[in-house]
Amino acid sequence: MKNRSKLLIASVVIAVVILWSFYFKSTEQTGTVIILNGPSASGKSSIQKEFQYLMMPNLWIKLGIDNLFDKPMPDITLENLSFWQSPNPIRWVTMSKDQDENSVMTLFTGEQGDKVAYGMNSAIADYAKSGCNIIVDYIVYKKEWLDDLRQKLKGIKTYWVKVAIPLSTLEDREVARATSPKGHARSHYDFVHWDATYDLEVNSEKDSARTIAEQIKEFIEVKNI
């Protein structure tokens, strides 16, 4: 009986050691994630590019709303906009005016569109679990997206960065770039941050993308000391 007890205890100890070793090995291999959350046209993709260049030869990959959500979907363009103005399972837009008669273009997602968003979140987490460092261009169109992303990033070192900018500046950029219909930024400007808790806030009106990239680099280096 004593021998059996000793054998059982030894087996449990070995199992714990193996699991503990596996946990630390997995933790060491996990990359770091930086989430840039802010409205459309706030300069997040430019910040990504500058940060990626700044961190070389240490690789940081660019992921986010453009290449993991928008690009895989059927395109919404100014030319075919009327087709996407009715509710459907994927996504659609509505054009309206606010109380001050400003144009508002609101994006909605159906069940299939939300699955793409959740797949985007899974991909971000999986890249990190594979050891990749990632800087993400994100727009939280729905709180459910934010909740899902936070859940999937549990156990992964993640820094949340709020990209702040006045609405008037965003709308000037929409007109200048002509890459987004007027009123898109206005549609989600007031709620894009939901209840997110941020580690760092940057201002893309006051500072250039390069300066913001340097701010983020300095911030994470201090955090990792």
pTM equals 0.84
What does R_g of the chain's alpha carbons equal in angstroms? 22
Domain-wise residue ranges, the chain: 1-30, 31-223
CATH topology of domain 31-223: Rossmann fold (3.40.50)
pLDDT per position as a tens digit, 153-196: 999 999 999 999 999 999 998 888 776 778 999 999 999 999 99
Nearest one of 203, 213, 225, 222 to 34, comparing CA atoms? 213
Look at residue 224 in the predicted model and tell me its pLDDT: 77
Element containing residue 76 per DSSP (H, E)? none
What's the CA dihedral at 48, 54, 55, 61 to 10 degrees? 20
d(CA 173, CA 215): 23
Amino acid identity, position 88: N
